[in-house]
Amino acid sequence: MAATRPRVNATVADRPPRVLERLEALRAWTDASMRPVHFVPTMGNLHRGHLALVEQAAHDGARVLVSIFVNPTQFGPGEDYTHYPRSLADDLAALAATPCEAVWLPDETAMYPSGQDLRFRVAAPAALGSVLCGAHRPGHFDGVCEVVLRLLWQVRPARLVMGEKDYQQLLILRRMLIDFSIPVEIDAAATVREPDGLALSSRNRYLDAAQRQVAPGLHAELVRVAEAVCAADPGTFPALERSALERLAMKGFEPDYVSIRSAEDLGPGNAVNDRVFGAARLGRSRLIDNVAVTRQICR
């Protein structure tokens, strides 16, 4: 009963999504209707960024399905898998106020029925998966590919909706769909930000008050670099990147990278269709963000 659950944003339309915990239940749900499924895969701890994906997924009479699964294979040793925030009751309550019709909640056995050691692996090509975040989180994108490939066979959606905050992930998964001839489209959704520019992220809750004041500086630096790219020769990009790293360090970040790359294939930035990517640690959080070098920025 919806009334017994905590509600984040109670409206007349509130209806709790159907919760599917077993593959058989998921298959029965997907087979029960001819309407296409539009799918939003998540690791839970839903914020307004996720909810915007759900809203964007609701079109063309589709049924919107959200999955919640904290995928162990995309966390490296020493990363925050065990501490990653889990908030299922709040997530379900938040989804009740969205067009989400069902939530797929696999356990680890449903996702990796052979166990971790005997699972089949998937590896993204190094040119996409070993740069930027991939260089700092070895195997991370392989784990993302592994879980999404499994989810695609489980859910068999018509469309996926994913956020541009994880732009590298978006690009890798788009390439994976093409490479495996998977007839599914990915719709990208713009990054949702706090008023001060900080991109919404589940990991923002690791920030203490002082770090929270500093955190928007990452986005600000990336915007500054993007603006500089408009007027710069690609030969000067490395210098722009270096000075951004220095400025981030001065603000209190431990930066992993700031990098101007082709938005198409993550190759070297060429002042045609570039994007500025950044990642920096701040206390227990590792923040990532990226901004497009658009005509608006290059006004």
Catalytic residues: 50
212 binds its own copies (CB under 8 A): no
Single residue of 1, 77, 78, 117 touching its own copies by CB under 8 A: 117
Single residue of 121, 205, 242, 284 touching its own copies by CB under 8 A: 121
| Beta strands at 18-20 and 100-104: parallel, antiparallel or unpaired | parallel
Residue number, 182 or 292, with CB nearest to its own copies: 182
Are 116 and 234 within 8 A, CB to CB?
no
25 binds its own copies (CB under 8 A): no
34 binds its own copies (CB under 8 A): no
145 binds its own copies (CB under 8 A): yes
27 binds its own copies (CB under 8 A): yes
The region of 82-90, 105-113, 213-221, 241-249 touching its own copies under the rule CB under 8 A is 105-113
Residue number, 25 or 182, with CB nearest to its own copies: 182
**Joined tokens for residue 224:** 């500054």
Per DSSP, the three-state class of 48 is: helix
175 binds its own copies (CB under 8 A): yes
182 binds its own copies (CB under 8 A): yes
Phi-psi region of 278 (alpha: psi -120 to 50; beta: other; left: phi over 0): beta
The region of 113-121, 161-169, 204-212, 216-224 touching its own copies under the rule CB under 8 A is 113-121
Single residue of 103, 124, 229, 293 touching its own copies by CB under 8 A: 124
The region of 54-62, 125-133, 191-199, 232-240 touching its own copies under the rule CB under 8 A is 125-133
Among 182, 185, 194, 237, smallest CA distance to 218 is for 194
**Joined tokens for residue 164:** 């541009």
176 binds its own copies (CB under 8 A): yes
112 binds its own copies (CB under 8 A): yes
Among 70, 100, 65, 103, smallest CA distance to 85 is for 70
Residue 295, exposed/middle/buried by CB under 10 A (0-12, 13-18, 19+)? exposed
Closest CB 23 distance from its own copies, rounded Å: 6
The count of residues interacting with its own copies (CB under 8 A) is: 30
Residue 93, number of CB atoms within 10 A of its CB:
20
Cα 158 to Cα 63, 107, 155, 216, 286: the distances in Å are 10, 23, 9, 36, 32
Single residue of 77, 78, 183, 195 touching its own copies by CB under 8 A: 183
Are 182 and 155 within 8 A, CB to CB?
no
The amino acid sitting at 53 is L
List all residues 6 or more positions away from 179 whose beta carbon is below 8 Å from its beta carbon.
none
Among 95, 93, 150, smallest CA distance to 121 is for 150
119 binds its own copies (CB under 8 A): yes
Single residue of 12, 78, 83, 120 touching its own copies by CB under 8 A: 120
**Degrees (nearest 5) of the Cα angle 225, 229, 232?**
130
127 binds its own copies (CB under 8 A): yes
Please give the residue ranges that form the binding site for its own copies (CB under 8 A).
23, 27, 110, 112-114, 117-125, 127-128, 145, 149-150, 153-154, 175-176, 178-183
